Amino acid sequence: MAADTAHAVLEVDLGAIVANWRDLGALHPSGPVAGVVKADAYGLGARPVAAALYAAGCRHFFVAYLDEAIAIRDLLPDAMLAVLSGPIPGTESDYAEHGLTPVLGSLMEIEAWAGRGPAILHVDTGMSRLGLSAAELDVLERKPGLLAGLPIRFIMTHLVASEEPDEPVNLRQCQVFAAARARLPKAPASFANSSGILLGPDFGTDLARPGAALYGVNPAPGRPNPMRPVAALRIRVLEVRDIPSGASVGYNATWTASRPSRIATGALGYADGFHRALSGKAKACFDGTPVPLVGRISMDLSTFDVTDLPAVRPGSWLDIIGPHQTVDDLAALAGTNGYEILTSLGRRFRRVYLPA
């Protein structure tokens, strides 16, 4: 039997992703929820995730870029597969060839797409990023012929601060979006993202677009996470060494042993998405017991104080993401969000997919 050569294993529970999708659907009775699988399904694998969601009945998918859509189109033969970034000039024929739905957010994109098939219109209601501006809506209202013959699948916008339920901008965007839709041809709407689904029926439309919540990131920061965790990460111990009191560990000697200590070096670094900002803050877990991360995280390695755990040996496994330390926990320690933690997960892990 061949030796297990994995230095780290990322376990992705496809069943939990599907369950999260169904739970979000129950919270959005006004219309179905899509599967947002951009950025390689938030770092967890667009092809297996998209296939699992499709098998569960999802028929609306979103990615960020054209190449992402082409890479999974074969898995979603009769599903709407939309590209949020809009067509780069000259790529319109690629969208048509693969049956993709562009999200059009400018007059230039609308004009270039004319006569090529269905599309989604994106209205900017406060993000000031992508989407039709107020001035462009004025033009479309004055020149309705620009949209003549364009099958509009949805009119969409993007929430600015949906994770903050008391933020006034949420209601303001509702009002701006309603006014914008009144100026455009009648078409279904798509409004809520992951956190927006939790804002209530005023944010319910014909299609919601959850992303991070599908993958276990808490869409309600500061409150208990209603989503199931979907990812678990464990790493190998490469070496364990004894050091005397007063010895330092890692680059720049940021940690010094206050007692004779045992240090386990694990196969995980910032090249794997274990952010350097977590140095001295995160932890691992061995057989249910937390062990502190000590010293600076380096590109490929991290070091843990296992002085009180004599059973830790080279080849042992340390849990990094799991019940003891969630994606959101790591995000809080790193001063970021769970989206960045997930999408940073490296490609050097062995990936194991639990079936839906």
Residue numbers annotated as active site: 38, 251
Q: Which of 229, 177, 207, 191 has the alpha carbon at shortest distance from 35? A: 207
Enter the tokens of residue 143: 């020149």
Map tokens 């490296």 to a residue. 346
Q: Which of 293, 352, 350 has the alpha carbon at shortest distance from 318? A: 293
Cα torsion at 302, 308, 309, 312 (round to 10°)? 40
Amino acid at 191: F
How far apart CA 247 and CA 196 sit, in angstroms, is: 50
Distances in whole angstroms, Cα of residue 305 to Cα of each of 101, 163, 281: 52, 36, 12
Q: Residue 25: helix, strand or coil by DSSP?
A: helix
CB neighbourhood size of 74 (10 A): 10
Beta pairing, strands 302-305 & 261-266: antiparallel
Q: Are 229 and 213 in contact (CB under 8 A)?
A: no
For the range 129-138, what are the long-range contacts, defined as Cβ-Cβ under 8 Å and sequence gap of 24 or more?
Answer: 129/158, 130/84, 130/85, 130/86, 130/103, 130/105, 130/158, 131/105, 131/157, 131/158, 132/105, 132/106, 132/107, 132/180, 136/106, 136/107, 137/180, 137/183, 137/184
Q: Are 354 and 12 in contact (CB under 8 A)?
A: yes
How far apart CA 13 and CA 236 sit, in angstroms, is: 21
Distances in whole angstroms, Cα of residue 252 to Cα of each of 33, 255, 275, 298: 49, 9, 17, 11
